[in-house]
Amino acid sequence: MGNLIALDRTTKGYGAGAPALGPLTFTVEPGEALAVTGPSGSGKSTLLNLVAGLDKPTAGTVTVDGLRIDQLGEHALARFRRERIGMVFQFFNLLDDLTVADNILLPAQLAGMPRAKAAARTSELMETLGIEDHAGAYPGRLSGGERQRVAVARALVNRPALLLADEPTGALDTTSGRDVRELLIDLHRGGQTIVLVTHDLALAEACASRTVHLVDGHVAFDQTAEVAR
């Protein structure tokens, strides 16, 4: 089986001085759950942005699901994001004016999925994630954990090959954080490839099959779960 993510001497710099990230070379296999850890300013979010196609490397290549995304234009990148990846953010980033169901539907609609099919997929996800009772509610009325579940559902609606999660429990209380952790573990068990950026080593340990620790933009260590334990 080929790599789902392949970084080859990938570097990202902002102006003069040392690059914020890299050069970095590593791969992620399908089905892996990779946790990216490290202190603030270590390059975790920069790495996530490069893999999500939100930013472009200054040098090197980024290949995701067989696509050289560092070479794609804005339109192709948008298609890449809606078809191949799903994103979960620390602060949920749900649209306050849309209901829970509409938030989840949005990526499917942007991708042109037929209305009935998109609605069915949304219902399925809401049921799976236990938020079906909130379908008509607005995000502002939900708890943090519920909002993150909605965000996860939205990320999964187009059945992406890769789920990117940026500090998914960073804004949650302990209980909600535990719920989200369980959710990620379940998803991984179901075969979902996950890249998880977090400060929370406990979360990384619980959810990830492999951990990459960054310091000053470089890999300090790269361990599989068995070794880490």
How far, in Å, CA of 209 to CA of 227, rounded? 10
Scan residues 114-143 and list those touching other proteins (CB under 8 A).
138, 140
Cis peptide before 114 (omega within 30 of 0): no
- Residue 54 binds other proteins, judged by CB under 8 A: yes
Q: Give the C-alpha distances (Å, rounded to integers) separating 78 from 82, 88, 179.
A: 6, 16, 30
Task: Specify the residue, 82 or 134, whose C-beta has the smaller distance to other proteins.
Answer: 82
* Phi and psi based region of residue 85 (left: phi greater than 0; alpha: psi -120 to 50; beta: remaining): beta
How many residues sit in the footprint of other proteins (CB under 8 A)? Answer: 32
Nearer to other proteins, 91 or 221 (CB): 91
For residue 95, state whether it binds other proteins (rule: CB under 8 A).
yes
| H/E segment holding residue 100 | helix 100-110
Residue of 27, 109, 143, 223 interacting with other proteins (CB under 8 A): 109
- Say whether 175 sits in a helix, a strand or coil: helix
Q: Does 163 bind other proteins (CB under 8 A)?
A: no
Q: Label residue 6 left, alpha or beta by phi (over 0 means left) and psi (-120 to 50 means alpha).
A: beta
Site string for other proteins, 9-28 (x = CB under 8 A): --------------------
The distance of closest approach from Cβ of residue 194 to other proteins in the complex, given in angstroms and rounded to an integer, is 17
Binding site for other proteins (CB under 8 A): 49, 52, 54-55, 74-75, 78-79, 81-83, 86-87, 89, 93-99, 102, 106-107, 109-111, 138, 140, 154-155, 158
